[in-house]
Chain A
Amino acid sequence: MNRGEQGFGIVVTFCIMFLFWLILSGVFDAFHLITGGICSAIVTLISHGLLVKGRGERVLPKSLRLLLYIPWQLWQIVLANVDVAYRVLHPKMPINPRVIEFETSLRGDFALATLANSITLTPGTITIFVEPGKGKFWVHALAKEHADAHLVDKTMQGKVAHVFMEW
């Protein structure tokens, strides 16, 4: 990371922190604004390297695609809950848990974290391990259908890869 990128990161982090302060405080007199500025500056000083790593490539199209991905993900969460509710309430509990592993084409930290969290939120699957170097996932699945969603269909992997442009 060179000096220009570091400056960019500091400015962006400070703006986000200050905006967050304004929303949470909701009081816009001089005292609160100055206090907020000081606090944002301290937080920026400590953590500007965490939020923005360099200038990144094609941040805008990625953010737009992420915004399009979220509604689909929300619908998947609803399906996940209905499915789990069905399995919980069914007298015979139709579950057949298994641990599966599969490799993906994803390499970026943010892409891997997004896929891992999406897997945990969607029907009957929880991420156990992620190996960043190979893009390999260990997943605990509640039944065979859930395992097949990742081993055969691979819809979600494709969508996340599309969002972060990593094929």
Chain B
Amino acid sequence: MLVVDVTVAILLTIGMFFMFIGAIGLLRFPDFYTRLHATGKCDTLGEGLIIVGLIIYHLFHYPGTPLVTVKLLFLIIFIFIANPTAIHALVKAAYRRGVKPWRWGEGRR
């Protein structure tokens, strides 16, 4: 059980680390598009790792209800499809409205 708990803790920590990086990137990057790079990608992997940790925890501590792990797996699949689609929709809308991408050497916006 100790091995399982340690593995779960490591997965949750790495997941939270990437979510944290996403938040820092949102604050540090200079414009709309680059900020979406930071939040979009880091959230996808961060959430994925956290849910994998939850799946392992549930499998070993509550083996009586295996369907819950299947539901969590579905959650990962939906996040991995919905997240890039949502980023694309945001970027496309901004590009259509004429938001200029930031270039090297310009000031922050």
Contacts and interface: CB of A to CB of B under 8 A. Distances in A.
B91 A85 contact: no
Interface in B7-53: 18, 21, 24-25, 28-31, 33-34, 36-38, 40-42, 44-46, 48
- Chain B binding site: helix, strand, loop or mixed by DSSP? helix
B84 A120 contact: yes
Interface in B65-97: 65, 67, 70-71, 74, 80-81, 83-85, 87-88, 91-92, 95
Given A81-B42, A120-B88, A99 B101 contact: yes
Contact of A85 (B18, B48, B83, B85): B18
Contacts of B24: 88-89
A121 interface: yes
Given A23-B71, A126-B91, A129-B95, A97 B34 contact: yes
A120 B92 contact: no
A127 B38 CA distance: 15
A84 B41 CA distance: 8
Interface residues on A, range: 20 to 34
A140 B85 CA distance: 15
B92 A128 contact: yes
Closest 4 CB pairs of A and B: A120-B84, A88-B25, A26-B67, A117-B84
Interface of B: 18, 21, 24-25, 28-31, 33-34, 36-38, 40-42, 44-46, 48, 65, 67, 70-71, 74, 80-81, 83-85, 87-88, 91-92, 95, 101-104
Given A97-B31, A140-B91, 10 more contacts: A23-B74, A26-B65, A77-B44, A77-B45, A77-B48, A78-B45, A84-B37, A93-B28, A126-B36, A129-B92
